[in-house]
Amino acid sequence: MDNTDIQGSIQQLERLISTGLALSAEKDSTRLMETILLEAKNLTRADGGTLYTMSDDGSCLHFATIHNDSLQIAMGGTTDVPILFQPIPLHLEDGNANDHMVVVRAVLENRTFNIPDAYDVDSFDFSGTRAFDKRTGYRSKSFLTVPMKNHEDKIIGVLQLINAQDPKTGEVIAFSRSNQRLVEALSSQAAIAMTNKMLLDGQRKLFEAFIELIASAIDDKSPYTGGHCRRVPELTMKLAEAAHRTQEGPFQGFQMTEDDRYELRIAAWLHDCGKVVTPVHVVDKSVKLETIHDRIETVSARMEVIRRDLEIRHLKEEIAAMKAGQAPEIDWERRVKEIDKINDDMNFLRRVNTGSEFMPKEEQQRIYEIARQRYLDGQGNWVSLLSDDEAKNLTISRGTLTEEERKIINYHIVATIKMLESLPFPNYLKRVPEFAGGHHERMDGKGYPNGLRREQMSVQARIMGIADIFEALTARDRPYKKGKTLSESLKIMEHMKKDQHIDPDLFDLFIREKVYLDYANLYLEPEQIDEVDESSLLGYRPLADAA
């Protein structure tokens, strides 16, 4: 062996080593398989080749990627050209081995086949190859077919190369023994890399499925927040991608890798995982007087007692007059007013029991006045129409929760952080607790649970805050309101911007890139998607004006 051959062999070994390292580092399965084939072609100076992968049930080989330089064919892999060839079964319909196919024989016999000229062998069926050559004018000659075995000696695919070329003349030659050993070594490395990737992909799929299971369980816990944990990740990623795309303004330096995207999506899916510890009767409180049941019916029964007592008093007055030999003096107008007041008070209580975005002071005062009315209970005691707890619940100014219940709800974010911080996340997911745990913080430091200010929060946590709020405003499944329209929701959020509740720059981006509209077209009802006058939003400035 002369110096040139030695130098060439050294270069091949160096390339094999560097290829092995590259395969181990590749994270994309499609690119990984294409890299395996292309590197094998380069190592052996093959004109073409095909990489097959074993089906999950081990019954057939699938075409993963095909390349041929002379014919300028590139299919599968990272190309946009689909492979339409049918998978190759390992066994025929009668159960016999499909061993007339060289790729199948390589699997079944677990060995390499090095064929100098396909036209000179009778042990394999190359009729399809010859028909292909006739159509294209190509001459398929030398074949090297290598099973790909992982570290458990399990075949997970086949690497087939075609038409090795002489480095000096370009003539098609047989694959040398040294090239065969190189490809076998590469196939072994490649199989291990593919197996590791499949294992990682499997673990990731299991992890993602478990996360989505938790989110679904939280959504299913209450019919009034169903879908929230699923919609927030979608809106979060839409706004994050808008920030990633921008080339100027406050977010021109914000960039995300694929790992960054994955980390944020996982955080968004888990942003409310702490709600698993929130009592159902609080999560599910659809009206103000609800506990195990809606106590408004109990109040209604008391009203009936008051109405009954009123009618009894009137009858007693009439009976007393008649016993005294007098004609009863009936003030029908007063009686009608008294009954109407009882009915009006009850209708009022039913209305305010449903909750609202805002309860006026005068309505709260009316609750206390009604509460002071008295009735005779079953034990003969005069008691107030409403208990202190009922009056307290009915005077809730926003929504259906008391301050104590709101604190219970708010605790879910503390529970979320504790749960996530206890998990051994890998490095590329280390920021999940911070992202997920910051969506209730405010820019002015008045949020919870840690009272963080804007500069103390990541962009991702601020993005999730906006996503969480917009989803809640437009959601159609809240217990005390219907889903708001786009214009109503953005009007509320502009005031949140003014009050330093949400990030002003992200809100502007949310409007400017029409993230709200992209989301609306996917998740909102047509009647919610009304016209939005972006120029009228308080403080909103297009990027050119803000620069």
Residues in a beta bridge with 88: 61
Q: Does the structure show a pLDDT above 80 at 496? A: yes
Distance CA 44, CA 148 (A): 17
467 versus 426: the higher-pLDDT residue is: 467
pLDDT at site 7: 54
Q: pLDDT band at residue 393, thresholds of 50, 70 and 90?
A: confident
CA 221 to chain centroid: 18
Among the ranges given (151-155, 176-180, 213-217, 376-380), the one the predictor scored with the smallest mean pLDDT: 376-380
Which tens digits make up the pLDDT trace of 60-119? 999 999 999 999 999 998 898 999 999 999 999 999 999 999 999 999 999 999 999 999
DSSP H/E element including 163: strand 155-165
Residues 75, 66 contacting (CB under 8 angstroms): yes
- The average confidence (pLDDT) of the chain is 85
CB atoms within 10 A of CB 475: 20
Q: pLDDT band at residue 516, thresholds of 50, 70 and 90?
A: very high
Domain ranges of the chain: 15-200, 225-256+420-546, 296-400
pLDDT at site 39: 86
7 versus 95: the higher-pLDDT residue is: 95
* Range list of H helices, 147-176: none
Among the ranges given (54-63, 306-315, 337-346), the one the predictor scored with the smallest mean pLDDT: 306-315
Q: pLDDT band at residue 172, thresholds of 50, 70 and 90?
A: very high
| 372 Cβ contact partners less than 8 Å away, ≥ 6 residues apart | 384, 385
Alpha-carbon distance values, 344 to 289, 340, 370, 389 (Å) = 19, 6, 11, 22
User: What is the percent of the chain with per-residue pLDDT over 90, rounded to a whole number?
Assistant: 47
| 167 Cβ contact partners less than 8 Å away, ≥ 6 residues apart | 45
Average pLDDT value for residue range 192-218: 81
Sign for the pseudo-dihedral over CA of 175, 176, 178, 180? positive
Question: What single string gives the DSSP state of each residue in 223-277?
Answer: TTSTTHHHHHHHHHHHHHHHHHH--SSTTTT----HHHHHHHHHHHHTTTGGGGG
Which tokens is 404 given?
């104590």
Residues 16, 181 contacting (CB under 8 angstroms): no
Burial zone of 177 (CB within 10 Å; 0-12 exposed, 13-18 middle, 19+ buried): exposed
Tell me the fold of 15-200: Beta-Lactamase (3.30.450)
Distance CA 229, CA 544 (A): 35
Buried b (16+ CB within 10 A) or exposed e, 404-425: ebeebbebbbbbbbebbeeeee
DSSP H/E element including 344: helix 332-353
Nearest to 256 by CA among 235, 232, 237: 237
DSSP H/E element including 305: helix 296-323
pLDDT at site 546: 44
Q: How many Cα neighbours within 13 Å face the side chain of 107? A: 26
Residues 486, 524 contacting (CB under 8 angstroms): yes
Q: Which of these CATH numbers, 1.10.357.10, 1.10.3210.10, 1.10.1060.10, 3.40.50.1390, describes 225-256+420-546?
A: 1.10.3210.10
pLDDT at site 167: 87
Which tokens is 75 given?
């299919």
DSSP, collapsed to helix, strand or coil, labels residue 293 as: coil
| 454 Cβ contact partners less than 8 Å away, ≥ 6 residues apart | 443, 444, 462, 500, 503
Residues 226, 219 contacting (CB under 8 angstroms): yes
Distance CA 143, CA 203 (A): 37
- What 8-state DSSP symbol labels residue 444? B
